[in-house]
Amino acid sequence: MPAAVGGKPVPSEPSKLKEPTYCAECGAKKFEYEAKGMCCSNGDIKLAFNEYPEELIRLFTARDKESLHFQKISRLYNNLLSCSSLGGTFGSKTLKGIFVFKTQGQAYHNLPDLIPMDSIPTYLQLYFYDAQHERENRLGLFPNLKEEIITLLMGLMDDNPYGKFFRSLKEIEVTQDTRIVLKTDPGHDQRVYNAPTSDEVAVLWPDNTVIQENADRHIIAY
């Protein structure tokens, strides 16, 4: 209800909140009228913090030539290390100078075939296919990237559980009949976020090539 209708004078200047306070348990900034325990339930909820490698912090925050180059096209470096691409019904175009990206229906992670169809590895294939030339293959996809930064990021992926898993595939012979089945457990509450660990990824190597129909939910990459 407008102030004039409610019998109150119309304000002549913007309202100002009081200085924020900070939660004594988790350090969250609390603005005026925010409930006392809305951030961490008065210490009952422990927030998890990710530790970032010093090399990555430098690339994102430093002002040297190499870091400025990385900050300008960091999304391209991220795409270079991605294991999957975006799948779904989508399109893009430029309208009156404004770039528009549209998607319709369900969006999902699109995993490529295990064996490159055109001999050019992409996404997860880069981790194990022709692994002796992984750096050269990645640089060949985006020649405007810097080799030294690619080398640094590849080293950081050595500690990533998914990077470890896909790199382990180079120790086995991958053929057209090879399948990777990432088995999930839908019995757990999927609304609860759990930080991924390498122990949570189960890989099945079937002896035959026949896919059995069942009610379980799987992710299969060929």
Q: Which amino acid is at 183?
A: K
- From CA 79, how far away is CA 76, in angstroms rounded? 5
How long, in residues, is the chain? 222
Q: Give helix 147-156 / helix 65-72 axis angle, nearest 10°.
A: 70
- Sorted by sequence, the CB contacts under 8 Å of residue 94 that are 6+ apart come out as 100
β pairing state of 180-183 and 203-204: antiparallel
pLDDT (0 to 100) of residue 77? 92
The domain locations on the chain are: 16-47, 54-81+112-175
pLDDT (0 to 100) of residue 181? 66
Walking along the chain (222 residues) 10 residues at a time, the average pLDDT comes out as: 64 84 88 84 81 90 94 91 82 85 82 74 79 84 89 87 78 71 58 54 54 52 52
Q: What residue spans of the chain are helical by DSSP H?
A: 54-61, 65-72, 74-81, 134-141, 147-156, 161-168
pLDDT (0 to 100) of residue 149? 93
